[in-house]
A and B are shown apart, each in its own frame.
Chain A
Amino acid sequence: MSAIVTIQDVVKEYNLGATVVQALRGVSLTVDKGEFISIAGPSGSGKTTLLNLIGCVDTATRGRVEVAGKNTAELSERELTDLRLNTIGFIFQSFNLVSVLTVFQNVEFPLLLQNKLNAKERKARVEALLEQVGLLTHQKHRPNELSGGQRQRVAIARALVTDPLIVLADEPTANLDSETGQAILDLMKSLNQQKGTTFIFSTHDHRVMRYANAVVRLADGKVLGRESPEDAVAHAMGLETPKHAEVRTP
């Protein structure tokens, strides 16, 4: 398996007035194609910052971030935007759908930005994805007419419509009840298995970690280790570290 994301010794600092806050302190991480990986850790551990760097919406203060073979530090603002459009799909904690567009239009939006397909092809693509997420009959609805789970499914369809290499999901189930959250994770997992799309999602919920192939645990801006979901859950629940813990450091 080849690496789709490579992060080496990345430091991310924020200036808060006179003080400099280090959100990430020398993080290194490799994600392979087709992985369904979870980034876990308590609030303020740097999960979102790490996702931002992988999602090319932010750049590292130091260190190297390589996404789909491209060093993000060397890309212009415009090129970063193109990289996001063509390589990465985003799923947000609070869904972030455009409220004035219908379900169909929300999903179609990235395709319009890409400007590669004609209207007919776009329609076919959007409808196929809506069918997969089970919302074909809701395509004319506006986001505010949907439940939270339905909205997140629309967001998943939108993230996948461009056939991205990586899908980033920031706490995708945080705003959902556990049942709906489970359904969303099932959906993501099945899409990962069908299409081989790499999924990277952050969570602090041990129930969610269980779905991952591997869990990268973060604390205080540092990677504590890359573990199996079971170990990670045990860690999260304050249990002893299992013996087969695997820490991979480059």
Chain B
Amino acid sequence: MDRVVLLVRMAIRNLLASPINLLIGGLILFGTLVFVILGGLLDSLNQSMQRSVVGSLAGHIQIYSSASKDELTLYGQMGSDPDLKAITDFPRIEEALSKVENVKMVVPMGVSGALITSGNIVDTTLEKLRDLYKARDGKPSPPKLAALPRDELDRRIVSETSHMRQIIKVLRGDAEKAMTDMLNGTAVDPYNLEALRRVEHDEFWADFEKDPYANLEFLENRIAPIVTDTSMVFLRYVGTDLDKFEQSFDRMRVIKGTPVPRGHRGFLIADLIHEEQMKLKTARRLDKIKDARANGRLIATDDELKRFVKENRLQTRELVLQLDGIKTQALTKSLQDALGSKETAIGPLLSELMTTTDENFDQRYQQFYGLVVPQVQLYRVNVGDMLTIKAFTKSGYIQNVNVKVYGTFAFTGLEKSPLAGSTSLMDLMSFRDLYGYLTADKAEELKEIQKQTGAKTISRENAEDELFGEGAEVVAEATAGVIDPDTAMSGAGRKLREEDLVRRVYTEHEFNDGVVLNAALMLNDPTRLDETLARISKLSDEQNLGIKAISWQKASGLLGQIINVFRALLFVAVAIIFFIAMVIINNAMMMATIQRTQVIGTMRAIGAQRGLILSMVLVESMVLGLLFGGLGMLAGSGVLGAIAAKGIAAPNDVMYFFFSGPRLIPHVTGAPLIIALVIILFVTVFSTLLPAVMATRISPLRAMQADE
């Protein structure tokens, strides 16, 4: 012990004696500082990202069929979804997995995406008009309208008609603008122009009542196609057991509307998508300006905000198209009062309202939400709407599913993250319908059809006999079907089935008993993830479950690798720093050894064994490393602590996901400190090994010869 103390003491004194040691120490300090700070930040980032990934979609572990062509990536890969083989016996797998120690919950899933389209404004206005006429003429129509008195129906018809004329006016304006822009290459189809001219005339509208259905058809066929702004939104969704999902992903909360009632079919839109893509663009831009101003940005100086204001001022068309006659009148009046303007046209009035500055913004914002919003549809899809989702099934045909939107949801802390907020939720039944898998409903429906038509299933082997053999019953005379267009083709019948599906309550067994593509596993103790993964793999082999289990990190694909990439970069940077330190240490210790030949020789002469000389040199560089490395660790921890006091604000919405909230609060973790210690010890010992061995070779004779 005393010897060690002496060696350390000698080491410290030797270190202080040479200025080059300060340079080496500085390098080690710098390397350690960088490593501890960045390592700590990356660890914190990894943990917060884990919270985001695990808490928003992945769970701790994902399982999927081991027979799948692709690997499961929850956030898609290169824009396409992985080709997963469906798991057909989920109940058996769920039962087996639930029994694995540390598994808290198994949530069945399927990730997919589809385009949803809401008909364009002409289509919806015309549909409204048609329903109103039908109600007036006593034809089958939505029950709500059928119950209205005649004069109310007439009033609404007038209002919708004027709305239609408003739309036509806007379209005509667009066409004329396009004509003047023709030099820029925008052409107007004369065929469309002719149609517009015709419906613009009062004549057309004066005669409208004579044959409303024919005129409506003309508008549908000739005018509706001109409007190109059919809104299409790509929705990415997870089909899942919504009850289990809510229980497992406890950061999820419903923002608008309600959760899907237990056991029901239903859809929850990701709130961010609802806000970003389904809200009126003008309103969304106003919201963004408000947010930005709250964060200290100014319209006067911020280019993005200036652009928003300009777009709001110029793009009033979206609002005007929504206004029917009654609403136009009411809004014109209230805007004139609010703005103190004498302008009579609604377009310029809205432009004036949208001419916002830092001074009038708050007032205009309130006026917009108070006066304009009540007259228009703020969101393209509202809570309570029936959403028609069209998707390509596995086998390539298009499948439609109608599903009720119960509300919107977000994950606490990730409200603004496009990554966490881009996936909506759908019940498993609808998902299976969309994906083209047989659901309980479908099976029932098929059975019913079979019974009604007398169809029977025949096997491939017997097909020939059954079809052409004697007494073949299968072939029947075809008879022309009689189709009643009002009941079979139009909405009424379909609506009934829809309503029935919406109301239907499924048992957990029904939800589970069907295909799923993957499943999320929540663990009791996430630190034992690797161990649990191994246990599941073993179980799958033993019980022939045919599943593959991967960690959240792997399931998040490239996203999960980002941290590893950063970490690799950090290691490379630190490796370079320490490599330089190693070279310098090596040189410095060589020099020091040569300079100390006489001292070392003397020590050997008076009885020091080679081992002591070796440890003397090694201790010296280790003391150097530990001293400055320790300082670096302290400084690094201090810097991290200082950063943690305020946290790092997410610079943009994407970083919300990585930070798992608006701020990253880094903390000093043990791992970088321990790794830094190991690296320092390795670097110092390794770089001193050669000089140390050289020192042990110094002969005690050198003590005598030195000064001769």
- Determine whether the beta carbon of A110 is less than 8 Å from that of B708: no
Q: Which residues of B are at the interface with A, using a C-beta cutoff of 8 A?
A: 2-3, 6, 9-10, 13-14, 17, 598-599, 602-610, 612, 699-701, 703-708
Bound CA–CA A158/B608 (angstroms): 14
Which of B3, B14, B700, B705 has most chain A Cβ within 10 Å? Answer: B700
Interface pick from A32-40, A81-89, A213-221, A240-248:
A81-89
* Secondary structure dominating the interface of B: helix
Known: A57-B703, A81-B609, A100-B10. A92 touches B602 (CB 8 A): yes
- Determine whether the beta carbon of B707 is less than 8 Å from that of A81: no
Bound CA–CA A52/B604 (angstroms): 13
Q: Which residues of A contact B700 (CB under 8 A)?
A: 57, 81, 84
With an 8 A cutoff between CB atoms, is A147 at the interface? no
Q: In the complex, which residues 28-78 of chain A have their Cβ closer than 8 Å to any Cβ of chain B?
A: 48, 51-52, 55, 57-58, 77-78
Bound CA–CA A86/B10 (angstroms): 23
Known: A48-B708, A113-B612. A98 touches B703 (CB 8 A): no
Bound CA–CA A46/B509 (angstroms): 104
Known: A84-B607, A101-B10, A110-B606. A96 touches B706 (CB 8 A): yes
With an 8 A cutoff between CB atoms, is A94 at the interface? yes
- Determine whether the beta carbon of A90 is less than 8 Å from that of B605: yes
- Determine whether the beta carbon of A52 is less than 8 Å from that of B607: no
With an 8 A cutoff between CB atoms, is A115 at the interface? yes
Q: Which residues of A contact B602 (CB under 8 A)?
A: 90, 92, 96, 98
- Determine whether the beta carbon of A94 is less than 8 Å from that of B706: yes
Find A55's partner among B9, B14, B605, B705 (CB 8 Å cutoff). Answer: B605
Bound CA–CA A115/B609 (angstroms): 13
Q: Which residues of B contact A82 (CB under 8 A)?
A: 607
- Determine whether the beta carbon of A114 is less than 8 Å from that of B607: yes
Bound CA–CA A48/B603 (angstroms): 18
With an 8 A cutoff between CB atoms, is A99 at the interface? yes
- Determine whether the beta carbon of B607 is less than 8 Å from that of A112: no
A205 to chain B, nearest CB (A): 16
- Determine whether the beta carbon of B17 is less than 8 Å from that of A112: no
B18 to chain A, nearest CB (A): 11
- Determine whether the beta carbon of A96 is less than 8 Å from that of B608: no
- Determine whether the beta carbon of B609 is less than 8 Å from that of A84: no
- Determine whether the beta carbon of B704 is less than 8 Å from that of A48: yes
Mark interface residues in A99-132 (1 if CB within 8 Å of B CB, else 0).
Answer: 1110001000110111100010000000000000
Known: A57-B605, A158-B606. A92 touches B2 (CB 8 A): no
Q: List the 9 closest pairs (A to B, CB-CB), nearest first.
A: A85-B607, A100-B13, A57-B700, A96-B602, A94-B707, A113-B607, A84-B607, A57-B701, A112-B3
Q: Which residues of B contact A113 (CB under 8 A)?
A: 3, 606-609, 612
List, sorted by A's number, 18 A–B pairs whose CB atoms are closer than 8 Å. A48-B708, A52-B701, A52-B704, A55-B605, A57-B604, A57-B605, A57-B700, A82-B607, A86-B607, A93-B707, A94-B706, A96-B703, A98-B599, A100-B13, A101-B13, A105-B6, A115-B3, A158-B606
Q: Which residues of A are at the interface with B, using a C-beta cutoff of 8 A?
A: 48, 51-52, 55, 57-58, 77-78, 81-82, 84-86, 89-90, 92-94, 96, 98-101, 105, 109-110, 112-115, 119, 158-159, 162, 170, 175
A48-B705, A110-B606, A113-B607 provided; 13 other pairs, C-beta below 8 A?
Answer: A52-B704, A57-B700, A57-B704, A81-B608, A84-B606, A85-B608, A90-B602, A90-B606, A92-B602, A98-B602, A100-B10, A105-B6, A109-B603
Bound CA–CA A51/B703 (angstroms): 12
Find A100's partner among B14, B604, B605, B609 (CB 8 Å cutoff). Answer: B14
Bound CA–CA A23/B398 (angstroms): 105
Bound CA–CA A57/B601 (angstroms): 10
A106 to chain B, nearest CB (A): 10
Q: Which residues of B contact A158 (CB under 8 A)?
A: 606
Q: Which residues of B contact A86 (CB under 8 A)?
A: 607
B702 to chain A, nearest CB (A): 9
Q: Which residues of A contact B598 (CB under 8 A)?
A: 96
Find A92's partner among B3, B609, B704 (CB 8 Å cutoff). Answer: B704
A243 to chain B, nearest CB (A): 36
Bound CA–CA A9/B288 (angstroms): 103
Chain A residue at smallest Cβ distance from B601: A96
Chain A residue at smallest Cβ distance from B17: A100
B191 to chain A, nearest CB (A): 100
Bound CA–CA A116/B605 (angstroms): 19
Q: Which residues of B contact A89 (CB under 8 A)?
A: 606
Chain B residue at smallest Cβ distance from A162: B607
Q: Which residues of B contact A57 (CB under 8 A)?
A: 604-605, 699-701, 703-704
B334 to chain A, nearest CB (A): 91
- Determine whether the beta carbon of B2 is less than 8 Å from that of A112: yes
Q: Which residues of A contact B705 (CB under 8 A)?
A: 48
- Determine whether the beta carbon of A112 is less than 8 Å from that of B6: yes
Bound CA–CA A114/B606 (angstroms): 10
Chain A residue at smallest Cβ distance from B705: A48
Bound CA–CA A187/B608 (angstroms): 26
- Determine whether the beta carbon of B17 is less than 8 Å from that of A78: no
A114 to chain B, nearest CB (A): 7
Bound CA–CA A191/B599 (angstroms): 26
Find A84's partner among B599, B605, B704, B708 (CB 8 Å cutoff). Answer: B605
Q: Which residues of B contact A58 (CB under 8 A)?
A: 701
Q: Which residues of A contact B10 (CB under 8 A)?
A: 98, 100-101
Bound CA–CA A82/B703 (angstroms): 17
Q: Which residues of B contact A96 (CB under 8 A)?
A: 598-599, 602, 703, 706
Q: Which residues of A contact B6 (CB under 8 A)?
A: 101, 105, 109, 112
Chain A residue at smallest Cβ distance from B611: A78
Chain A residue at smallest Cβ distance from B703: A96
- Determine whether the beta carbon of B2 is less than 8 Å from that of A119: yes
Bound CA–CA A91/B572 (angstroms): 52
Q: Which residues of B contact A48 (CB under 8 A)?
A: 704-705, 708
- Determine whether the beta carbon of B606 is less than 8 Å from that of A109: yes
Q: Which residues of B contact A162 (CB under 8 A)?
A: 607
- Determine whether the beta carbon of A78 is less than 8 Å from that of B707: no
A98 to chain B, nearest CB (A): 6
Which of A48, A57, A99, A115 has most chain B Cβ within 10 Å? Answer: A57
Bound CA–CA A112/B1 (angstroms): 10
Q: Which residues of B contact A84 (CB under 8 A)?
A: 605-607, 700
Bound CA–CA A81/B604 (angstroms): 7
Bound CA–CA A77/B700 (angstroms): 11
Q: Which residues of B contact A101 (CB under 8 A)?
A: 6, 9-10, 13
Q: Which residues of A contact B599 (CB under 8 A)?
A: 96, 98-99
Bound CA–CA A162/B386 (angstroms): 100
Bound CA–CA A58/B599 (angstroms): 18
Find B703's partner among A90, A100, A175 (CB 8 Å cutoff). Answer: A90
Chain A residue at smallest Cβ distance from B11: A100
Bound CA–CA A77/B613 (angstroms): 14
Q: Which residues of A contact B707 (CB under 8 A)?
A: 93-94, 175
Q: Which residues of A contact B9 (CB under 8 A)?
A: 101, 105
Which of A51, A94, A115 has most chain B Cβ within 10 Å? Answer: A94
Q: Which residues of A contact B612 (CB under 8 A)?
A: 113
Chain B residue at smallest Cβ distance from A161: B606
Chain A residue at smallest Cβ distance from B3: A112
Bound CA–CA A48/B706 (angstroms): 12
Chain B residue at smallest Cβ distance from A92: B703
- Determine whether the beta carbon of A110 is less than 8 Å from that of B13: no
Bound CA–CA A107/B704 (angstroms): 19
A83 to chain B, nearest CB (A): 9
Bound CA–CA A112/B612 (angstroms): 11
Chain B residue at smallest Cβ distance from A82: B607
Q: Which residues of B contact A170 (CB under 8 A)?
A: 704
B381 to chain A, nearest CB (A): 80
Bound CA–CA A170/B705 (angstroms): 10
Bound CA–CA A93/B604 (angstroms): 17
Bound CA–CA A241/B603 (angstroms): 42
B4 to chain A, nearest CB (A): 10
- Determine whether the beta carbon of A78 is less than 8 Å from that of B13: no
A204 to chain B, nearest CB (A): 12
Q: Which residues of B contact A55 (CB under 8 A)?
A: 605
Q: Which residues of B contact A85 (CB under 8 A)?
A: 606-608
